[in-house]
Structure 1
Amino acid sequence: MKIGCISWSHRNSFANGEMDIFKWMEHCKNDCLLDGAEIWNNHFESLDESYLQKIKEKAAELNLPVYSVATKCVFGGFSDDEINAAKSTMRDWLKATDYLGASIMRISVGGERLRDAERQIKVFDSITEVICEGEYPEITVGIENQEPGVVQNVADVKKMKEISDGKLKVILDNGSFLDKEDSYAFLEEALPDAAVVHAKFFDIREDGSDKILDYEKIKMILQKKCYDGYISIEYDSNEPAARDVPKIASYLRKLL
């Protein structure tokens, strides 16, 4: 397993101007000693090739691969125009993901009444349609489970897998549950269909462990299922991420 981080963890540092993508990448490599970086769409200044090239060069300079790009596709009220706009968004971000050499693209799905069965199928069909255009066969596309959301339980993952013929994966958020005890069963059952695991940390101890989720238990599940992908730190706290994510990364390295 490799350890990375999604830049959403440092959203407050981006918002107040303390960080941009380049400073964040340096922090990930030099302070957190991470194996790779996952960049959230809100932290891109643009998708211009010249800007993406600078990110690519920084990744090479630091030996810090961008393994995932995280974006959002909004289906709104599911009119034809809104569905086509969501597919267009996906194509734009697939192109950027490919340019950066990332192998995973995470999609967060937005829209009205996403738990409606017909709309859920429309989301899966629409995203699969773009995947099947075949422009980026090396990129694995996943939908992040969110509560509430278009994918939020094991039944949804199975439905997504069936409708997409296995082309769509889950970006497994192990903390996106109102009842955190549900996290462990979901992790165990959905892990075989996960492109990456988002490791949520909410309230950490001094050693970097979490007070909410039991990472000893999570470690046992990951090992049992022989997971060998990225563990992507997602720090869901308003405490200083630049101070705390290095502690979390150190804790995970020792644990795993």
Structure 2
Amino acid sequence: MEPLNNRRNFIRNSALTALGLGLATSHVSSNENNIKKNVSPRRNRIGVSTYSFWQFNGPKSNAPIEDCIEKAAQMGFDGIEFLLRQMQSEENSYLQKLKRQAFHAGLDIMGFSTHQSFIFPEKEKRNAEIQKTIHQIELAYQLGIPTMRLNTGRWGTSGSFDDLMANKGIEPPLEGYTEEDGFEWVIDAIEQCIPTAEKCGVVLGLENHWGLGRTAEGVLRIVNAVNSPWLQVTSDTGNFLENQYEQLELMAPKTFLVQAKTYLGGGKWYTLDIDYPRVAEIFRKVNYKGYVSIEFEGNADPMEAIPKSLETVRDAFTWYE
């Protein structure tokens, strides 16, 4: 009988062992599921500039804002940034129609890209640009947009924009003037816009966009001199042609909006190979929780390139805690 008893004991012990392993495996699996439940993804919201669908290629009627809203929603964006020069009108009825459409499409209108220049020796010209900028702030308010892109402007000594790009955005001051003059004009002009920005609740974001804003140091010199919570920074990932990551790090603490350039199909003026996980880490270190707005500036078909850009940027700006 002993061999039979041994066999029975072996079978019983094997069954108990298997049951124990099963329970242990189930316990581990349960723990893994609990860990996954407790680790939730965090991400920045991603928007897209209407510029991405147009890029100044042909008349602006080629890419109506209304079409951009619908396309952005279909592609899965969280928000949309309006380029003022692309809008068909500044009448209130048109603005409210766009606001209604964006809300119904499930999109925040999260940014407003405008153009102005304060680099003029003539006070009358600077005053005209100040009044134009104040009007643009009021348009942003009517649209319910929380932040507006601001430029310093440039000297205009390069000739065409193509010439400026060929020279990496560098141009000499007007004869008889210095960059110190330019900084004084820009700081004074923006200071005159701040009361309207505060009244309307629109944060001005000075962009690294050529002129005196070609470098992070230039942007921060102006922002720090104005010293107002209503003037912050719009950080464009594609407008630094040297030491781009180091310069983005300098501006990151004061950044209110990130504009993320992409160049699928090759860029219109140049192509940058931007390491977006590295860019995202720069802004994560300063606890940036705001929008990232894609500006596609490549030669590929926007309807194919913009969704690919969204995938790249969204992956980079998603992390787990």
TM-score by length of 1: 0.88
SS of the residue 1:143 aligns to:
strand
Q: Which consecutive residues of structure 2, in runs of 5 or more, have no partner in the other structure? A: 1-43, 156-172
Match of 2:85? Answer: 42
Shift of 1:34: 0.8
Identity of aligned residues (%): 26
SS of the residue 2:77 aligns to:
coil
What is the CA–CA distance in structure 1 between the aligned matches of 2:182 and 2:55, rounded to whole Å? 33
What is the CA–CA distance in structure 2 between the aligned matches of 1:133 and 1:29, rounded to whole Å? 31
- One of 186, 201, 217 as aligned partner of 2:278: 217
Q: Deviations over 1:26-60 (max 9, x none)?
A: 001112x1111111111111211111111111111
Higher strand share: 1
Match of 2:263? Answer: 202
Aligned length: 248
Matched to 1:160, the amino acid is I
Shift of 1:199: 0.8
1:126 equivalent to 2:189? Answer: yes
What is the CA–CA distance in structure 1 between the aligned matches of 2:312 and 2:118, rounded to whole Å? 38
Matched to 1:149, the amino acid is G
The answer (yes or no) to whether the contact 1:13–1:19 under 8 Å persists in 2 is no
Shift of 1:13: 8.2
Report runs of 4+ in structure 1 exceeding 4 Å deviation: none
The answer (yes or no) to whether the contact 1:29–1:64 under 8 Å persists in 2 is yes
Q: Of the two structures, which has the highest relative contact order with CA contacts closer than 8 Å and spacing of 6 or more? A: 1
Higher helix share: 2
- One of 156, 167, 178 as aligned partner of 2:218: 156
Match of 2:69? Answer: 25
Q: Deviations over 1:225-252 (max 9, x none)?
A: 2111111101121222122111111222
Matched to 2:72, the amino acid is C
1:142 equivalent to 2:205? Answer: yes
Between 84-93 and 211-220, report the one with greater CA deviation. 211-220
Matched to 1:251, the amino acid is T
- One of 231, 249, 256 as aligned partner of 1:188: 249
Matched to 1:222, the amino acid is F
- One of 46, 50, 56 as aligned partner of 1:7: 50
> Looking at CA atoms only, which structure, 1 or 2, has the larger radius of gyration?
2
1:85 equivalent to 2:147? Answer: no
Shift of 1:111: 3.8
Match of 2:297? Answer: 236
Q: Deviations over 1:155-196 (max 9, x none)?
A: 2233112221134211111111223xx111111121111110
